[in-house]
Amino acid sequence: MKLNKTFIVLSSVALVLVLAIQVNWLLKTAQIKEQLFNEKANMVLSRTAEALGSDKETCLKMGRCCVLENLSDCKLNLDKQEVNKIDSLLKKFMGFYNFQLSYSFEVIQPGPFGVPAKVSMSNNVFVQKLEEVAIKNGIVLKLIFPEKKQFIYAEMGPMFIGSVLLVFVLMILFWQTIRTYFKEQELAQHLSDFLNNMAHEFKTPLTNIALSAKLMRKDGNIGNEEKQKHYTDIILQENEKLKLQVEQVLGMTALERGEIPLHKQKLNMHQLVQEAVKCMNLQIDAREGSLLLNLGAQEFEVFGDKTHLSNSICNVIDNAIKYSKDKLQVTIETSNSSSSFCLVISDAGIGIDKDFQKKVFDKFFRVPTGNVHDVKGFGLGLAYVKKIIELHGGTISIESELGVGTRFTLNLPLSNDSK
């Protein structure tokens, strides 16, 4: 167990490291993409400035007065021809560098503080001095990219999406692995308890059979027909117990595989409940307990398998008896809900903790009582009941409170004739 915990911790740390590396890689990639963007923008500006410098007519026009834009800068009032000239050059060189995104530009004369050549004035604004273009020094071309961030994200798109998906898939696989591991651990524990209980359940009848057989072999007992019959009856009874226990285990497995056919017929559920109560009366009387029967359903005909439904009812009643306190008190009620027959079996027993209520229908699960042999059984009874009820199109639910008791509710669809 310690090794398993260490493995989980190391795996978690490894996953976190992978996630950190991926995030760091994405950030580095974004930085590189931005650097490339800046270099391309500056190259476009430089090539545009060179092209403008070779156009003498434009050079002369650039020397005109500028229009005051704010307290520090003034913007050159260019005519349409000059604007188109600069715009065509920008488009040309942006196409050359495969640099396609929306932009705007201005030609300005900075204020007294000025700006250095080939630097970003802000994250998406680039400037280039036009010293060779204008008669006045200090005039600059300002290129603005309002969608710079979106462009960089689009460039990173496939890598970003791939990385996110990879991390997401890794996290899901890791979570699923841990979840499966804990489920397997839980199943292994339940299986271990099941084997311990099975060994205990088989040991008692086998011991009784062996003891009876030894006593029968004694010369003094062979001639005594009464004792011989008594020992024979013990052997037969214990053999029947073993047979039923083996059939319960094999039957559950076959039922899950769908190998046990259901022989459905129209059933009187009130009669079935009364027969089940009659079978369980010996156990109730042995515990000096009481059973209250309230058959209040107006419609009680169900289409189902008599044997399996009868066994299911007996299993739930048996469960109520096993987990009752010293004072055994079981209540069985029937009613109708919509188009269903409702059977409620409740007890005033020890109750079941909320953490275990969802697991009581799991195969091999038994509510912890501090000793696996406190209550006999394999942990298959309620799993069998749930399977049978669901095969009949019904449902089973549980309500329980520690120290107060447990209430099982079985709902089965009524037969067509009853509706």
Using alpha carbons only, what angle is made at residue 148 by residues 147 and 150, rounded to the nearest 5 degrees? Answer: 65
pLDDT of residue 371: 43
Question: What's the confidence (pLDDT) of residue 249?
Answer: 66
**Does position 407 have pLDDT exceeding 60, yes or no?**
yes
Chain segment 100-117, per-residue pLDDT in tens? 777 877 777 665 555 444
115-124: pLDDT as tens digits: 444 444 456 6
Q: What is the pLDDT of residue 119?
A: 43
Selected residue with higher pLDDT from 294 and 380: 294
- Over range 193-211, report the average pLDDT: 66
| d(C-alpha 355, C-alpha 14), whole Å | 32
Q: Which amino acid is at 107?
A: V
pLDDT value at 143 more than 50: yes
Per the model's pLDDT, the better-predicted residue between 75 and 126 turns out to be 126
pLDDT at 375 over 70: no
Beta bridge partners of 76: 66
Could you give all domains of the chain from N- to C-terminal order, each with its CATH number? 2-146 (no CATH), 154-257 (1.10.287), 264-418 (3.30.565.10)
Q: CA–CA separation, 91 vs 101, rounded Å?
A: 10
